[in-house]
Structure 1
Amino acid sequence: MGAPSVPADSLVPRPAEISTGAYDGLVLTPSTRIDADHAARGAELWLRTELGAATGLPLPRGDGQTAQIRLSVDRGAGLGSEGYRLIVDGEGALVVGHDPAGVFYGAQTLRQLLPPAAYRRAPLEPDGRWTLPSVRITDRPRFGWRGCMLDVGRHFMPKHDVLRFVDLLALHKLNVLHLHLTEDQGWRLEIKRYPRLTEVGAWRTESQVGAGSPAAFDGRPHGGFYTQDDIREIVAYAAARHITVVPEIDVPGHSQAAIAAYPELGEGEPVGVARHWGIIDNVLNVTDTTLEFYRNVFDEVLDLFPSTYICVGGDECPKEQWRRSQTAQRRIREEGLADEEELQSWFVRHFDGYLAERGRRLLGWDEILEGGLAPGATVMSWRGTEGGVAAARAGHDVVMCPTDTSYLDYRQSGDDGEPVPVGTVLTTEDVYAAEPVPAELSEQEARRVLGAQVNVWTEHMDTPRAVDYMVFPRLAAFAEAVWSPGRREYGGFLPRLEEHLRRLDALGVEYRPLSGPLPWQSRPGVAGRPR
């Protein structure tokens, strides 16, 4: 490219240590080679593919002697898990990682050192000049869990868009994609033993538009699901980018789509797949048959997802049907439970034991604290930080994602042009400033905080374009909060973010401009639910 190289201080997230070298940098040419040891071959393939597409350069493999870009794993380099060192000097560019993930993150940083056109799929100038500036960077993440929850239950996201989303997470050095696969409004995962889960449960007759009262509907059928081969592809694609896909099968609430497909799972009359948003009264019954049904479902889930963590939801489970249910009341008596809250805890503990027997760990929203926490459970603290504090003090691991700092469906300003405004205002600066570790935890208790995630609930995001608008640039701010150590100042982040937006432009991400929504990004006449 004719444009100058990007300054080293424009990186997002900010590296732990960075200094500018005294050399002219490395010019990439048709003779530039990339070499890697065996453990770093995945990052080598990724880097060659991405840079080759953008620059038009062949970037062939080196022979260990002539390569100008070298990638390697060295666990003795003192870098720590997922850490890396990147050196660009007169001899070339060297990326050393503690592990393959560290090498991959170093390669991501190397790409950021080039102009934004390095993120395009074809070269803009056939004979352009590409220069890596001379730098020395040593870096590692602050947290081991740097995640994003994507809700494909409310609005289905086609597979190719999920793969694109994975690439965007990887660009920001995030390493967990929490995939919310089942909801009242749709079941998105093929289960071969129970085909009606997708034949019936993956489709609804129409969708609520906005959050007005009375509810308005669009009159358009909506649906979709991932085949098991689709999931294998998504999981493998993410793993190649060092992202773990954590599946969520929500029980015992948020289950109306499953009940629509198999009415015997429910407590009331047969129902259809839900078409409106909000907390819905229909819940699973607590019979042995239902427990067996979901064990069979999870058997297939575990075959598809190698993740240690399996999310069972456990949130927003109304208890009214159980209060009226003879079956539920009998179960309470037989198990010696105090009430319906303990009944939900009993239900969740059943699957905690099931997962533990198979070497996995149960993950659930903080409602699983109510009625007693399952022994092996990890808690996602979303209703503020209180659940995370309680779980950590009880000796349980925690992922922090409180609504007021982590819910990317919340409106981004008080402007009238914000599309379908819900919740409180959550700006990019708010996300950036949020501290994942609650201040009231002791040093020992704080070690229970695995990290944090942001949550993308899609009731009001009915297209990938809408997801882009709500997620970016707030995801970039979150990425720095969970990756970078030390004090954060938004004033120092903002110039780097503005440069980073040029990368998102090159990728075609339709983010919300910092100045506010563009006219076509608003939704005139669609009511929200601001607070």
Structure 2
Amino acid sequence: MVFLSAALLGLAGAAPVTFQATPQARAQTPFPVVVPQPRQAAYPAGTLPLAGLSVRVLGNAPELSWAARDLKTDWKTRLNRELGTASSGKIVVGTIVVGTVANAELAAKVKAAGLTAAGAEGYALLVDASGAYVVGADAKGAYYGTQTLRQLLTPQGLKFARISDAPALKQRVAMLYLDQYSKGVNDKLIPLLAELKYNSVLVMSNYVQWDVARAGGWAHPGGATKAEARRVAELSRSYGLEPIPLIETPGHAAWMFYGGKNRDLVQDPDSKEPYAYDTLNPETYTRVVFPVLKEAVETFGAKTVHIGHDEVRSRDRFPARENGKALGYPKLITGDTVKLHDYLKTLGAGTMMWHDSAFADAVVGTVPAALPKDIQVAYWNYDPGTDFPMLAQIKAAGFRTLGASWNEVGSAEGQAQAAAKAGIDGMIQTRWNGYFGNPSVWDGQADQGVAYVRAANAFWNPGARAVPNAEGLYRDLYQPTAFASAPGFTADLKAAANRSLADTDSKGWLQKGPDVDLSHLKTGLQKIGAYTFNVSGAVMTKGARGAVSDLPASITLEVNRRADAVAFLHTTGWASALPALNRENIGRYEITYADGSKVTQPIEYGRHIRAWTDTVNPSMVMAPGWVGQTKDGLDVNVPIFEWVNPKPGVTIRSITLISEGKAANPTLIGLTLIGGQ
């Protein structure tokens, strides 16, 4: 392949681009596997056609009506059609039937098929030419079986399946946040978590605008209202998710000191940013903590409240006051825990807490023995691996036990295996993106949202295979779209390409040789993610590194076509010098129209683009693209950014890629026009 030099491009002006029509410029298709992976499943060849299908619920449990609701939602969202409700109470061929083994006819159907619906939240699922049958061991099982059925939906119908399934872990908890952005985010996350078969949500509630906080002047303006907290609790329950409010005590307690209030209750009087409260001051409880717990129980209808108790001594002195020093930390933390537990018990609520205030090496010999054994203890460890002896240790001490994982690949997967082996209650998938950072679960720290997918797979079935393209599934469940194709045109960028993807002679790609190049990204017409691209080489711009310092700062492509949107398969040779959350502006696309007008699309690192070696996606503004490895085994990827054209009726004359010349240099590998002509 012959590539045009920077000088030639500069002299010749815009590089000519050849376009080829494609019926699937963008095509949204069903995810190829069921997540969580069922523990026993077979998928015979065949599909139950959509024509004439309706749903019939046999039973009165609310979970069964939720199941029908979710199916109807999918029919509307994915297929743009209605799923009717069958009027007869009997099983009729060619329908979707949802019920439990309490129905003798359904129990017989399951038995005749050689399937099993057993165990709490277990279900059997049969899809064949006669219809689709979701049969729960209980009503929750029928609901979870319906979540599996939803993932068998295609534009042609429901894929045949024979499944016997039940969860390995009985508690499967995902963490949510309440802040001023709650509604826009949690209304998407709650149905997503239900489809992934979580059954509880741990809801960070420190900064809810409790009545006592508003009256005392320490309610944070960024916190959610009580009405929003109540709404989230009710919405969660309507999707089978039991809400557990989390009020962090006695550390991480900056919420009670907001606006300089309650400073007389701080643990360390010398603290400039109060972190923990004084456990020996009765007003800590009567003025602040007990009223908040009472409001939380009432607002959520909470059966359990998580009282925090992690990292109590990680910032300020604890104990710091002389009376506390005289008693010592073990007695202080024991007294606080028992006090909160006993108060919650008077409200009819149980207590959950993190492990480290009671099971750290310095106190494990004294504190656990002094705590009530009906407290549920959650052990957090965010490292990948499968060896977590503390789970068994906490259980052996007499406490109901949960594990807790975070976002690193292998964290949830490994600890779920350890949890199943230890025979504990279940797992919590945590999310730590700041008290007022809800939107970042989509744009900013989206990798923490992707972890919901991987964790759900492991919590239900610790022996499950890794989820392929968990990023893509998260993106699709958070923002579901119709199964549909959009025609368009793929661009052949050969005339503009100035670097080959293969670097056989240390003159291509990044000039590092054949072991560190993009040669595994094949050239030619191909589907990458949801898009079709024609890959021929790299249109690489100037950057700060020596290997690209002599490349052009801008490259213009002739287009002369209309489009509804443009998909850019692009990356950078190196990462930004700043963290991805800084969203460094590294360049821009300048779109020039035939009428002489222009539109500029900034290219922000971590939002619109990232380096080929940066495989953690912090923003779902980027769609999943190509993933692979170099010859020496380095994981690499090329994401996709879809730009929506604000002037689809006007011909695009040209698109110019412009670099700011920073460490991260924009590099275009594929371009596809969606719609237009």
TM-score, normalization by structure 2? 0.57
The corresponding residue for 2:429 is: 454
Name 2:401's counterpart in structure 1: 398
1:20 to 8, 18, 43: 43
Distance 1:500 1:251, change over 3 A: closer
Q: Which amino acid aligns with 1:20?
A: Y
Q: 1:75: how far off? A: 4.7
Q: Structure 2 CA distance, aligned partners of 1:227 and 1:383?
A: 32
**Which protein has the larger Cα radius of gyration, Structure 1 or Structure 2?**
2
For 1:325, the equivalent position in structure 2 comes to 321
Partner of 2:334: 345
Is 1:377 matched with 2:375?
yes
Secondary structure class of the residue paired with 1:400 = strand
Residue 132 of structure 2 aligns to which amino acid in structure 1?
A
Per the alignment, residue 465 of structure 1 pairs with 442
Q: In structure 2, do the counterparts of structure 1 residues 517 and 281 end up closer, same or farther at CA, with 3 Å as the change threshold? A: farther
Q: Are the aligned partners of 1:251 and 1:284 in contact in 2 as well (CA < 8 Å)?
A: no
Mapping of residues 470-485 of structure 1, within 5 Å: 470-484=447-461
Q: Given that residues 57 and 65 in structure 2 are in contact (C-alpha distance below 8 angstroms), is that contact kept between their aligned partners in structure 1?
A: yes
The secondary structure found in structure 1 opposite 2:213 is: coil
- The 1:431/1:316 distance shift into structure 2, 3 A limit, reads closer
Matched-pair contact (CA < 8 Å) for 1:33–1:60: yes
More strand by percentage: 2
Provide Cα deviations, 1:44-63, integer angstroms capped at 9, x if missing partner: 12321332333232222212
How far apart are the structure 2 equivalents of 1:49 and 1:6?
15
The amino acid that maps onto 1:328 is G
C-alpha displacement of 1:281: 4.8
Q: Closer, same or farther in 2 for the Cα pair 1:63/1:504, shift >3 Å?
A: closer
1:287 deviates by 1.4
Q: 1:63 to 1:478 in 2, by over 3 A?
A: same
Secondary structure of 2:285 counterpart: helix
TM-superposed deviation, 1:195: 1.2
Q: Out of 170, 174, 183, which is 1:148 matched to?
A: 174
Residue 357 of structure 2 corresponds to which residue in structure 1?
A: 368
In the alignment, the residues of structure 1 paired with residue 294 and residue 191 of structure 2 have an alpha-carbon distance, to the nearest angstrom, of 29
Change (3 A) 1:112 1:468: farther
Q: For the structure 1 residues 111 and 511, does the alpha-carbon distance in structure 2 shift closer, same or farther, using more than 3 Å as the test?
A: farther
Q: Give the partner amino acid of 2:480.
A: L
Query: By how many angstroms is 1:95 displaced?
Result: 0.9
Query: Aligned Cα RMSD in Å?
Result: 3.5
Match of 1:286 in 2: 280
Q: Residue 28 of structure 1 aligns to which amino acid in structure 2? A: L
CA contact (8 A) 2:192 2:478 kept: no
Match of 2:243 in 1: 245
Distance in 1 of aligned mates of 2:348 and 2:173:
22
Cα distance, 1:110 vs. partner? 1.2
Provide the rounded CA distance (Å) in 2 between the counterparts of 1:502 and 1:252. Answer: 36
Partner of 1:494: 468
Deviation at 1:112, TM superposition (A): 0.6
SS at match of 2:67: helix
Mapped pair 1:137 → 2:163: yes
Contact 2:309 2:357 survives alignment (8 Å): yes
1:45 to 66, 69, 94: 69
User: Hey, what does 2:84 align to over in structure 1?
Assistant: 60
Residue among 191, 195, 202 paired with 2:220: 202
Q: Distance in 2 between matches of 1:101 and 1:501?
A: 23
Q: Which runs of 5+ in 1 are unaligned?
A: 116-128, 204-223, 275-279, 409-425, 526-531
Matching residue of 1:407: 406
CA distance in 1, matches of 2:622, 2:138: 32
Aligned 8 A contact 1:159 1:226 in 2: no
Q: Check if 1:192 corresponds to 2:211.
A: yes
Displacement of 1:504 after TM fit? 4.4
Q: Counterparts of 2:414 and 2:623 in 1: how far apart (Å)?
A: 20
**Are 2:341 and 2:350, in contact at CA under 8 Å, matched by a contact in 1?**
yes
8 Å contact from structure 1 (residues 177, 244) kept in 2 = yes
List runs of 5+ in structure 2 lacking aligned partners: 1-23, 108-116, 383-387, 482-619, 628-635, 642-661, 664-677
Aligned partners of 2:37 and 2:465 also within 8 Å: no
Over 3 Å counting, the alpha-carbon distance change for 1:498 and 1:367 in structure 2 is closer
Partners of 1:511 and 1:4 lie apart in 2 by 15
Residue deviations 1:36-79 (CA, integer Å, cap 9, x gap): 12221221123213323332322222122557111112358542
Cα distance change, pair 181–469 in 1 and its aligned pair in 2 (3 A): same
- 1:16–1:499 distance in 2 versus 1, CA, 3 Å: farther
SS at match of 1:41: helix
Partner of 1:412: none
Summarize the Cα distance change of 1:75–1:228 in structure 2 as closer, same or farther, 3 Å threshold: farther
Query: Equivalent residue for 2:100?
Result: 73
2:34 to 1, 5, 11: 11
Encode CA deviations 1:7-54: one digit per residue, 9 max, x unaligned. Answer: 9x71111111212346x432223x432111222122112321332333
Pair 1:133–1:399, CA change in 2 (3 A)? same
- Checking the alignment, whether the CA contact within 8 Å between 1:43 and 1:100 is kept in structure 2 is no
Q: Tell me the distance in 2 between the aligned counterparts of 1:512 and 1:142.
A: 32
What's the secondary structure of 1:137's corresponding residue?
strand
Q: Return the offset for 1:288.
A: 1.5
Q: How many residues align?
A: 433
Q: 1:83 aligns with which of 96, 114, 122?
A: 122
Change (3 A) 1:138 1:296: same
Higher helix share: 1
Give the letter for the 2:50 counterpart: L
Partner of 2:604: none
Q: Percent identity, aligned pairs only?
A: 21
Quick one: structure 1 residues 152 and 310, their matched pair in 2 at CA, closer, same or farther if it must change by over 3 Å? same
Using the TM superposition, give the Cα deviation of residue 142 of structure 1 relative to its aligned residue in structure 2, in angstroms: 0.8
Q: Which amino acid aligns with 1:34?
A: V
The secondary structure found in structure 2 opposite 1:392 is: helix
Partner Cα distance (1:41, 1:159) in 2: 23
The correspondence for 2:305, drawn from 310, 315, 325, is 310
| Shift in alpha-carbon separation, 1:499–1:89, aligned structure 2, 3 A | farther
Tell me, in whole angstroms, the C-alpha distance in 2 between the residues paired with 1:165 and 1:505: 6
**1:193 shift after superposition:** 3.2
Alignment of 1:262-301 (within 5 A): 262-267=262-267, 281-293=275-287, 294-301=289-296
Instruction: Note the C-alpha offset of 1:292.
Output: 1.8
SS at structure 1 position matched to 2:442: helix
Aligned AA (2:401): V
Is the 1:5–1:130 Cα contact (8 Å) retained in structure 2? Answer: no
- Residue 310 of structure 2 contacts residue 357 of structure 2 at CA under 8 Å; is this kept in 1? yes
2-structure distance, mates of 1:499, 1:193: 43
Question: How has the CA–CA distance of structure 1 residues 5 and 347 changed in structure 2, closer, same or farther, with 3 Å as cutoff?
Answer: closer
**Match runs of 1:225-240 below 5 Å:** 225-240=223-238
Structure 1: distance between partners of 2:69 and 2:186: 21
Separation in 2, partners of 1:465, 1:387: 33
The separation in 1 between residues aligned to 2:125 and 2:248, in whole angstroms, is 42
1:268 Cα shift? 5.4
Amino acid at match of 1:507: P
* TM-score, structure 1 normalization: 0.72
The residue number in structure 1 matching 2:392 is 389
